[in-house]
Amino acid sequence: MTTELSPIDRAKFVAARRSCDYVESGMRVGLGTGSTAAWMVRCLGERVQAEGLDIIGVPTSSRTADLARQLGIRVASLDEVKWLDVTIDGADEFDSNLNLIKGGGGAALQEKIVATASDRMVVIADAAKEVRALGAFPLPVETVPFGWQTTQALIEETLVNMDVMGRESTLRMNDDVPFITDEGNYVLDLHLNRIGNPRQLSLVLNQIPGVVENGLFIDICDVVIVGHSDGAVELRDINAGTVADEQIDILDGDNIFAGPEA
């Protein structure tokens, strides 16, 4: 029941619920990865079951694909659908220009590919994800396993000339072994504290041999929906230049919302 959620989960839930208003029958929808995106998938699943919403979902991870199938959402690959009407996903950080850091869940590569293959990207987040400057959240960089330590050294050397406050990088681990992405790659988390020029950093990182992709999403997001624990949501549309405040009912609990996987 939504009334039993923690304040942070209520904020995620209302943002996720409002984002589903961007989805109509017949659409091809990119389905994000992470705790906030899981709420969105559950909200879409509720509409599929209750309203007969007819959509094709393109998941950005195997975890999201499994959840979507469990909820009765038709799932297809990006190669099958070619192009998407909208992608809805969470973010680890966003700034006033709607630039993002994503990839805390280890799916940044698929998330970026799916988002850029969409007419519109809608990001759902709680208010704590907004920052004045990106970089407090570690920046994920997906690398091929071969020679990853060399790639790490090249990244750290490159950071010396970048407008960042920190230059430490760590290999993401899964217990005592390296974390492996769905594409079989490693993730280096860059602890930068502040990124002065995200666009420049993104371009430079992707030129380093061994780097597959980084978690900076620049000029990709169109709308951010910020949820609050009291049911308030703020919609920021970067293209229209508008900001709108709305209220979402968080008291109509549904059995489908038993709580998303992290």
- Residue stretches of the annotated binding site: 33-36, 89-92, 102-105, 129
Euclidean distance between CA atoms 101 and 217, whole angstroms = 6
Which amino acids are annotated as binding site for substrate, given as ranges? 33-36, 89-92, 102-105, 129
Q: What's the Rg (C-alpha) of the chain?
A: 18
What are the backbone angles phi and psi of residue 51, rounded to the nearest 5°? -110, -10
Active site includes 213?
A: no
First and final C-alpha spacing in the chain: 17
Euclidean distance between CA atoms 32 and 123, whole angstroms = 9
CA atoms within 13 A on the CB side of 72: 13
Q: How many angstroms from the chain centroid is the CA of residue 145? A: 23
Closest CA to 10 of 231, 224, 226: 231
Euclidean distance between CA atoms 14 and 40, whole angstroms = 9
Q: Which of 46, 111, 142, 213 is catalytic?
A: 111
Q: How many angstroms from the chain centroid is the CA of residue 234? A: 18
Catalogue the active-site residues. 111
